[in-house]
Every structure is written in structure tokens, then in C-alpha cells.
Amino acid sequence: MQEKKAIIIGIAGPSASGKSLLASTIIRELGSSKVAVISEDFYYKDLSDIPQHVRKKMNFDHPEALDHKLLAEHLSLLQKGEYVEVPQYDHSSHSRLKETKSVGNHSIIVLEGILLFADPLLRELMDIRIFVDTPLDICFIRRLQRDTIERNRTVESIINQYTNTVRPMYLQFIEPSKKYADIIVPKGGKNRIAIDMIKAKMNELLESENNHDN
């Protein structure tokens, strides 16, 4: 059996719960080039062949909207120490960009996204599963702020999307997947105690690898 060369840590939770902030804070404070972050968002299916007015009505909170098969293939390659070309996605146009990002030769891959634990194949590939458990009203306010500023969307469209797909899909897929978590983090990406605990575990994994290499 081939030795695993990369540990995969999954961070899931509702949209705008603080997953990205938690991941980026940990990575920044660790300051190690041996750790990389991959967002599930990059693996949204490309909708560039569908008219723009139709794209906007798609359900982006259902597992079918994501290419989890490709993500699983990439994670398996990363575990073996190989490189992959991670797609880049434009939320404004709901399409993949032509350029990709090369990722590989890392000791730890931090994977973050809303539906990671809802997919059995992805769950099996993760060594540690973390669920960010933030109240839905806080998530909605954050999403409203983010999507108006960063994704150029109207308040009305954000409210409609949240009511029609985001909340129902959370209740159907994301909330039930919380049971698969090894660690549940309340208060999102600003939970200092959780950040320090996860960092300590990651440092332990990195030191273990260094000792193994020596």
C-alpha cells in the first residue's frame, strides 16, 4: 500500500459561515509553504454554454452543481504527492476561467466548501473533518454583504436565491452532514480557541513529517 504524502483536512458548513476565513487565518498563521487551500467553489460545473439569464436561475447549492468527481480525482492525486491543475471559477458569470492554478507537493491540503461532507467519496478522502456551525441569520447577513460587494448582485436576487435554494439546500444536505464532522466549530472563522487547536494539530502533523524525512 502506497504511503500517503498529503493529509486532507475538510472544512464544511453553511454558506458565509466563516469557512474561508477560518482556513485562511490558519494558513496565514502557520506560515508554511507545505500547506495549501482548495475551495470547493472552484469545482462548480462550467455553465458558459448556457444563456446568462438561465444560469442565474440554477440551483448552486445542490451537490449536482459541483463536479465532485473531478475534485475527488484531484484529491487522490494530491494525496500521492502529485500536482493537479485546479480550475478557477468566476461567480459573476457562473463559468470557469481559461487559466488554472497548479497545486501539489504539499503536506497538508485544507479543503473548504458547503457540501463536502454530503458526498461519501469526498468524506472518505478526508483525514480530519471540521464543521463551522454559524447561526443562519448571521450567515445570511454576511452573504448579503459579500454578494452585493464582491459579486455585483442585487439585494432582491440575493434574498430570492437564499429563500429558494440556499436555505432549503442547507436543511436538506448541509445540516445533516454535520454528523460526519470530527470537530464542530461555533462562531466561524473568529473562534480563537478553535483556530489555535487546529493549528496545533497541523503543526504536529508537519513536525511528524519533518521527523520522518530526517
Q: What is the distance between the alpha carbons of residues 214 and 210, in angstroms, rounded to a whole number?
A: 6
pLDDT exceeds cutoff 70 at 1: no
* pLDDT grade for 52, boundaries at 50, 70 and 90: confident
Task: Look over the chain and give the mean of its residue pLDDT values, rounded to a whole number.
Answer: 91
Average pLDDT over residues 183-197: 90
Average pLDDT over residues 67-76: 97
* Domain segments of the chain as ranges: 7-201
List CB contacts of 6: < 8 A, sequence separation 6 or more.
78, 79, 80, 81, 106, 107, 108, 109
**pTM of full prediction above 0.75:** yes
The residue with greater pLDDT, 32 or 127, is: 127
Q: Considering the domain 7-201 in this protein, what is its CATH number? A: 3.40.50.300
Of the ranges 2-11, 62-71, 198-207, which is most confident?
62-71
pLDDT of residue 212: 66
* pLDDT grade for 2, boundaries at 50, 70 and 90: low
pLDDT of residue 124: 96
* pLDDT grade for 48, boundaries at 50, 70 and 90: confident
* pLDDT grade for 54, boundaries at 50, 70 and 90: confident
